[in-house]
Amino acid sequence: MKNYRIIRILSFAYPPVLGELFKKHPNFIELSYQEQKQIYFLGKFIDTDGFSRNMNLLGNDCLDIVYDLEVMQKSWAREHNLNYGENSWQYEILVEQLNYYKPDVLYFQGGNRLLYNFNFKDTCPSIKLLAAFYGFPHLEAKGADFLLAGYPLLYDEFKKQGIETYLVYHSFDDNILEAINSRQESKDLLYDFTFVGSSGYGWEARHHSRYWYLRELIEKTDLKLWLYEPARVQYKNITFPEKFRAMEPLRELFPEKCSPPLCGLDMYKVLSRSKVTFNRHPEFTVDESLGNMRLFEATGVRACLLSDRGDNISNLFEENKEIVTYASIEEAIEKVNYLLGHEDERKAIAAAGQKRTLKDHTVRNRCEEINAIFQKKL
């Protein structure tokens, strides 16, 4: 087996992340690059450092770069006496980092405009392999030697386009369990029914069914929500379903049930203290192929997950044994009420779901899959 150096390119992307980072670490900007990076990954924001930790355990040399976290990237540039343009700092600092660390493999965790606009093999001669993971069909798939797809539907679409693609699902970093001090089964720490994430408001047509499911669940159950809803909505001449145009922020309609968004460890703590937590995939996957991050995040921290049903769900979990699924809003309401009324059954499902995730869906599982692909290609 040949070991190699790999750099994974990440984006902090989710707007609440930066606010939380500076709120908890007001001196963040004054720290060194390595100190900033350590704090960022200790907070488990969006992506953890589980990939690099496990790739290193497999004998490789892996580094993470959060290319668009401005304060951190500019700290690296300052420490390496690098000058950069005001509007081109993302690309210029990243290229300098690649030539400094000299990776064999460049791996983008998500489609990225830099990947489409620049040829990194030309600017960094050490790169032998360039790959990208897609968990959402938001950008044109080009610029990489091959792709990893997080959903069967994306896998099928890329294969139809003649792009070499491998199906690799999202995963759970079990290191999170230590960080949140595991689960405590005391009543004062448990929420009955929760949702944490984007409501669908402000996300164009990608999450409109999630919005209307949540709105009805708020009215008919004791759902508690921690919501991200963009302040401004730009429709960009897209034609939406009729009722989508009548959307209003759920936090304004139901302020008593909605709290500000959570990310990182705060999100995992709420999930771990939830009796039942709700999940619904984006429009491009509904009723066809599932695989979003919440499937593994919720089960990983032992919440009983109530999720939409898809053709491939049996490949990931056993329905009604490891997670509970629904095909309609009526079924979702019926099942959450049943679960909250049958505590022993709910606990058994939550425990079985966590056991399955820790067995089959950890970051280590996925790194072994990805490492095998990279080894073959190198």
362 bridge partner residues:
172
Q: Decide if 103 contacts 5 (C-beta within 8 A).
A: yes
- Comparing 102-111, 112-121, 124-133, 142-151, the range with the smallest average pLDDT is 112-121
pLDDT at 119 over 70: yes
How many angstroms separate the CA atoms of 202 and 152, rounded?
26
How many angstroms separate the CA atoms of 24 and 37, rounded?
14
The pLDDT assigned to 113 comes to 81
Mean pLDDT of the chain: 90
3-state secondary structure of 70: helix
3-state secondary structure of 362: strand
Q: Decide if 233 contacts 205 (C-beta within 8 A).
A: no
The pLDDT assigned to 333 comes to 98
- Comparing 153-167, 220-234, 267-281, 340-354, the range with the smallest average pLDDT is 220-234
How many angstroms separate the CA atoms of 212 and 236, rounded?
21
Tokens 């959060």 map to which residue?
66
Q: Decide if 34 contacts 283 (C-beta within 8 A).
A: no
Q: What is the dihedral of CA 117, 122, 125, 130, to 10 degrees?
A: 40
Annotation: CATH topology of 5-171+362-377: Rossmann fold (3.40.50)
Question: Each residue of 35-74: pLDDT tens digit?
Answer: 999 999 999 987 899 999 999 999 999 999 999 999 999 9
pLDDT at 104 over 50: yes
- Comparing 83-92, 181-190, 193-202, 351-360, the range with the smallest average pLDDT is 181-190
The pLDDT assigned to 12 comes to 84
pLDDT at 378 over 80: yes
H helical segments located in 221-319? 250-253, 264-272, 293-300
Q: Where do the CATH 3.40.50.2000 domains begin and end in the chain?
A: 175-360
pLDDT at 78 over 70: yes
Q: How far is CA 116 from CA 21, 167, 314, in A?
A: 29, 21, 35
Q: How far is CA 10 from CA 64, 75, 236, 330, 349, in A?
A: 7, 17, 27, 39, 33
Q: Decide if 218 contacts 189 (C-beta within 8 A).
A: no
Question: Each residue of 127-177: pLDDT tens digit?
Answer: 999 999 998 776 667 789 999 999 998 999 899 999 999 999 999 999 999
The pLDDT assigned to 321 comes to 98
The pLDDT assigned to 230 comes to 80
Render 97-129 in DSSP notation, one character per residue.
HHHHH--SEEEEES--HHHHH--HHHH-TT--E
pLDDT band, very low/low/confident/very high, at 247 (cuts 50, 70, 90):
confident
The C-alpha angle 310, 312, 313, rounded to 5 degrees, equals 70
- Comparing 13-17, 94-98, 230-234, 295-299, the range with the smallest average pLDDT is 230-234
Percent of the chain with pLDDT over 90: 75
Whose CA is closest to 10, among 108, 77, 102, 101?
108
214: Cα separation from own chain's centroid? 20
The pLDDT assigned to 35 comes to 97
Evaluate if pTM is beyond 0.85: yes
Give the contacts of 87 (CB within 8 A, at least 6 positions apart). none
Tokens 């909505």 map to which residue?
233
Q: Which CATH class is domain 175-360?
A: alpha beta
The pLDDT assigned to 183 comes to 47
pLDDT band, very low/low/confident/very high, at 235 (cuts 50, 70, 90):
very low
The pLDDT assigned to 287 comes to 60
3-state secondary structure of 21: helix
Percent of the chain with pLDDT over 70: 90
The pLDDT assigned to 241 comes to 53
Burial 214-226 (b: 16+ CB within 10 A, else e): bbebbeebebbbb
Q: Decide if 89 contacts 77 (C-beta within 8 A).
A: yes
